[in-house]
Amino acid sequence: MKSEPDTFSIDDLKKKGVAGWDGVRNYQARNNLRTMQKGDQCFFYHSSTKIPAIVGLMEVVREAYPDSSADKPGWVQVDVKFIKAFSTPLSLEDIKGMSALKSMVLVKSSRLSVQPIKPEEWTFLLKKLDK
DNA sequence: GCCAACGTTGGC
DNA sequence: GCCAACGTTGGC
């Protein structure tokens, strides 16, 4: 899940503990939000910043429900809980250099703000990040 | 700040 | 339903 740190950063999530992931206005991203289940974990990615990178880990604590920030119905948000901020974030540059991550959506379709991750990619990333 | 890639809108 | 014009995202 991507966010511009100027708008909402991993530190902001850490402070809040639990936050609503609202503001998604893209159908594909919305569909991905809808598939997320309580207990699912996801990565927090900082986009549009000096060093775009995976910076943290979080967990879905509430499944998709109407996004109150939307002026039209149909958009949804989920609630996520802070789990951790990685001491060493994994930059997009690094990700692009790893052959195991070659087919990541992040590399292939960088604009999608809520992306699926394959199990093998997830395992690989967690091993790299969570030391 | 630039620009490529992508998504959305609206005329026909 | 096509496609040109326009808007947005996000890496660099």
A75-93 residue pLDDT tens: 999 999 999 999 999 999 9
Q: What whole-number percentage of chain A has pLDDT above 70?
A: 100
- Residues A2-14 have pLDDT tens digits of 999 999 999 999 9
The domains of chain A are located at 2-129
Footprint of strand B on the protein (CB under 7 A): A 26-28, 109, 111-112
**Range A121-130 average pLDDT:** 94
How confident is the model at residue A70, as a pLDDT? 83
How confident is the model at residue A98, as a pLDDT? 95
Q: Which residue is nearest to nucleotide C8 (CA to C1')?
A: A111
Distances (CA, A) of A74 to A38, A61, A106: 20, 21, 25
**Range A94-117 average pLDDT:** 93
CA of A6 to C1' of C9 (A): 15
Which amino acid, one-letter code, is at A33?
L
Q: Judge residue A73's burial from the number of C-beta atoms within 10 Å of its C-beta, 0-12 exposed, 13-18 middle, 19 or more buried.
A: exposed
Model's pTM, two decimal places?
A: 0.94
Nucleotide with the nearest C1' to A112 CA: C9
Domain covering A2-129, topology: ph1033 like fold (3.10.590)
pLDDT at A28 over 90: yes
